[in-house]
Amino acid sequence: MRLRLLPFALSLAMVSCGASDSHARSDDALPAVAPNGPSASDTTSVPPAAMASDDQPADATVSASSANATRRSALDTAIFAGGCFWCMEPPFDKLVGVISTTSGYTSGSVVNPTYDQVSGGGTGHTEAVRVVFDPARVTYDRLLHVFWRNVDPFARDRQFCDRGTEYRSGIYPRNARQRQAAEASRRAVAARFSQPIATELVAATPFYAAEEYHQDYYTKNPLRYKYYRSSCGRDRRLREIWGDEAGG
């Protein structure tokens, strides 16, 4: 459902994890993320090293540049889907060691899809979040732990109030190491519950960043976000499944 320019109280009631009439995506294709390694968009931008001056020798500039390059190359990327991508950014953003989160679309067949295409259910994509993190500060296993406690692992082709294949939950490992860790985490979750696990686990395919108005929605539109999250029953259902572990 799209947001309309209505009186404030009514506009809150119209909120859903969807598009806004006041925003449009440009025709320029956003870069996809290759499944085998971070692209430039996977890492945070690091300010260029200061230019050498009389009191800063040239070799100091080179050293700073090398350190920045090393820092960027040390970062890793994880991709998860847990229903509305608005709601999957906050639990990762609060983790020490997470550099950035990006809402987007993955595991589909159309190049550079728009929200309208994905929400129509014909592209095969699911709403997902790309997490860029520093493995020296937060592990992939920790990200998996947080992921599971923010999804309903039993729901098939839906999450909470949002229904459709574009809201299916999933883990998309980008290499053999991530796959091994993801499979181990899914076995642990399956052993904990009697219900079958519906969360898919498939190799990462290109990730396409969503339209800008979707990014950091919970900080840009906090009241609408909180209303949507509450009315969708997300936290209530997470507590039913995970108890005190819900969300974390």
Residues marked active site are found at 84
Cβ count within 10 A of residue 188: 12
Q: Which residues contact residue 116 at a Cβ distance below 8 angstroms, ignoring those fewer than 6 apart?
A: 19
Residue 104, phi then psi, degrees to nearest 5: -175, -160
Nearest residue to 61 (alpha-carbon basis) of 48, 72, 43, 46: 48
Instruction: State in Å, rounded, how far the first CA of the chain is from the last one.
Output: 29
Q: Please identify which residue in the block is written with the tokens 């860790």.
A: 181
Query: How many whole angstroms separate alpha carbon 233 and alpha carbon 148?
Result: 17
Residue type present at position 167: Y
Nearest residue to 166 (alpha-carbon basis) of 203, 206, 202, 115: 115
